[in-house]
Structure 1
Amino acid sequence: MTTQQDVPQVVIVIGASSGIGKETALHYSRRGCRLVLAARSDDTLQAVAEQCRLAGAAEVAVQITDIGISEQVHELFDVAVARFGRVDVAAQCAAVTAFGRFEDIPTDVFDGVVMTNLLGAANVARAALSHFREREAGHLVLVGSLLGVMAVPNQSPYVLSKFAVSALVRVLRQENRDLPAVRIHGIYPGPVSTPVYGTAGNYLGYAPKVPPTADAPGVVAAAIVRATDRRRSSERQVGLINRPAILAFRLIPAIFDAVIGPLMRAVSFESEPIASTAGNVFGVSAAEPTT
């Protein structure tokens, strides 16, 4: 007789074409889950889907989705339910960023970062919770950032959007306490070695680089999977520097604000100047970025 435990989980991974999203999809694949992979880029998403099949996924579906467009997000969940009957886990890993002083980042680029990172996350949460609350079960994972609890210069739209995502996670945890089997998880990575550095919008004049303290995407993916094994909602900082950095931000703000700009410039940017670019804020570049 088939039991509920014998039925593979149905997992939607958004931002699955690279970075944290790709590694998250592969982690669930090794568990034999049924996957629905979403991102804006078709070619790279199809390639990840094939890797997931080889890694052990029971079934894999692909849905091109711009999470900034609410209708596309609802269609993503409709496709998952139509094919697999339900959704057990929704992991929102997609994000974009733009570097530069606040006043130098064009308004449309600033708004585009906020549209994807914040309104996109809200669109995913709205669609997921509509399904989960009807079923009275499910895991929603929103990937935020260390920069959602600690501000740094020259990434204002990203910092703003990630602070708001952290707040959204807390609000959703509060609002869904009446259904304990509907779990809300916030995962907050520090620096992660993903394509986001090479595909970001840039109005600072210098190319970003992966900081030496960056974790591999698989570290964050493993934290996402562990969260969805929990029986209750959760929030977790992921990264060795996260807690010391947060303490410094909160306990010695004057010193922190004085040193963080020069420190970020030294460890996070190349010395050679580059031209301004919107990167992939408005569309797909060579690789879809994830947080």
Structure 2
Amino acid sequence: MSEGPVVVITGASSGIGRATAQEHARRGARLVLAARNEDSLETVAEECRALGAEVRVIPTDVSQQSDVHALAVGAVAEFGRIDVWVGNAGVFAYGSFEQLSEAVFRQVIETNLMGQVHGARAVLPYFRRQGSGTLVLVGSLYSRVSSPMISPYVASKFGVLGFAESLRQELRGSGIRVRVVLPATVDTPIYQNAANVTGRHVHPLPPASSPRRVARAIVRAPDTRRTVRFVGRVQTVALLPHRMAPGVYDTAVRLSKERVELRGTDADLTVGTVFEPPSAAGGVTGGWRSVGARIGAAAAVSAIVALLVAGGRLVSRAGQR
């Protein structure tokens, strides 16, 4: 039997979560995989078992506190402890605040933010008992910057970072670590699965990082001293203008949304997978890093980045006066 660390991963049926499960499996972890669809989880579990991992599957809706509590109980019943809890489950919704229904807005918050809160509440008693453990929360670049037409997602990810920082301060000296990974755009199926009431087709802002790159950052997080790690450095150019030149940032992000991320006018209205999971396991990637996808948006993105960089230079010059 493996004596590797026991790792719980939520949102494990596709994208970053599926890549993280595979990466941990390669490193000898004992895995507890959670998502809403059991059949999807079994698909991922078989991949991980083929890599030599011991795996338990526990269907879980992270927006339900009782489900998350049962996930922690099941993990400990199976393996006797939990060493790492990866809070990764998330859903996405496109539309203006006034377009999006209250139900969709609330469910994004319940999944992306309250799912992390439920996870911390469920696992901390076990970490306290052990005197050790790492809580790895997957946020987003949108934990630090904003964007129109995705207000519930931005609100949820800002909340994740604030919650993590407060929790980290409370847990100092306890032996329990809190780590946060903040990916920029990642090539996952979350965009195809998003709720969308804009009537336009969704395209994530390039460049899109590989989910496996994010997975490696998640796997390494418990062993690093850095509490917050960004993945996708190109888009972090937005951080300075967002803080110091908001007018420049607002112009750039509006152009991005109108000319790159939302296209056409004939997209179906959908609630995506906000309320119900996909019927089958999603891929690790969503196909957003293809050559065609990159070329199609390169010019527009270059102009937007140039605008952001110019704003950053203006801020820098103003600070030198």
**TM-score class normalised by the smaller sequence:** over 0.9
Which shows bigger deviation, 204-213 or 160-169? 204-213
Q: May I ask how many residue pairs the two structures share in their alignment?
A: 284
Q: Is the 8 A contact 1:199 1:287 kept in 2?
A: no
After superposition, the Cα gap between the structure-2 partners of 1:287 and 1:240, relative to the gap in structure 1 and judged at 3 Å, is: farther
Q: Kindly provide the CA deviation profile for residues 1-38 of structure 1, in whole angstroms up to 9, marking residues without a partner as x.
A: x9xxx821110011000000001000100011110000
With normalisation by structure 2, the TM-score equals 0.85
Pick aligned residue for 2:190 from 196, 202, 207: 196
- For the residues of structure 1 that align with 2:95 and 2:236, how far apart are their CA atoms? 26
* Deviation, structure 1 residue 233: 6.2
**2:255 aligned residue:** 262
- For the residues of structure 2 that align with 1:138 and 1:165, how far apart are their CA atoms? 19
* Deviation, structure 1 residue 135: 1.1
Greater relative CO (CA pairs within 8 A, separation 6+): 1
Pick aligned residue for 1:78 from 48, 62, 73: 73
Q: Is the 8 A contact 2:137 2:179 kept in 1?
A: yes
Pick aligned residue for 2:204 from 189, 210, 223: 210
- For the residues of structure 1 that align with 2:199 and 2:182, how far apart are their CA atoms? 28
With normalisation by structure 1, the TM-score equals 0.93
Pick aligned residue for 2:56 from 48, 58, 61: 61
**1:96 aligned residue:** 91
Q: Residues 14-93 of structure 1: matches in 2 within 5 Å? A: 14-57=10-53, 59-93=54-88
Q: Kindly provide the CA deviation profile for residues 101-137 of structure 1, in whole angstroms up to 9, marking residues without a partner as x.
A: 1100001010010010011110001112121112110
What secondary structure does 1:236 align onto? strand
**1:114 aligned residue:** 109
* Deviation, structure 1 residue 186: 0.6
4+ runs deviating over 3 angstroms: 286-290
Q: Is the 8 A contact 1:183 1:233 kept in 2?
A: no
**2:307 aligned residue:** none
After superposition, the Cα gap between the structure-2 partners of 1:83 and 1:233, relative to the gap in structure 1 and judged at 3 Å, is: farther
- Pair 1:284-2:277 in alignment: yes
For structure 2, the residue ranges without an aligned partner over 5 or more in a row are: 285-321
Q: Is the 8 A contact 1:31 1:56 kept in 2?
A: no
Q: Residues 147-158 of structure 1: matches in 2 within 5 Å? A: 147-158=142-153
**2:219 aligned residue:** 225
For structure 1, the residue ranges without an aligned partner over 5 or more in a row are: none
Q: CA RMSD in A?
A: 1.8
- For the residues of structure 1 that align with 2:280 and 2:250, how far apart are their CA atoms? 33
* Deviation, structure 1 residue 288: 6.5
**1:132 aligned residue:** 127
Which structure has the highest strand share of the two? Answer: 1
Q: Is the 8 A contact 1:14 1:94 kept in 2?
A: yes
What secondary structure does 2:32 align onto? strand
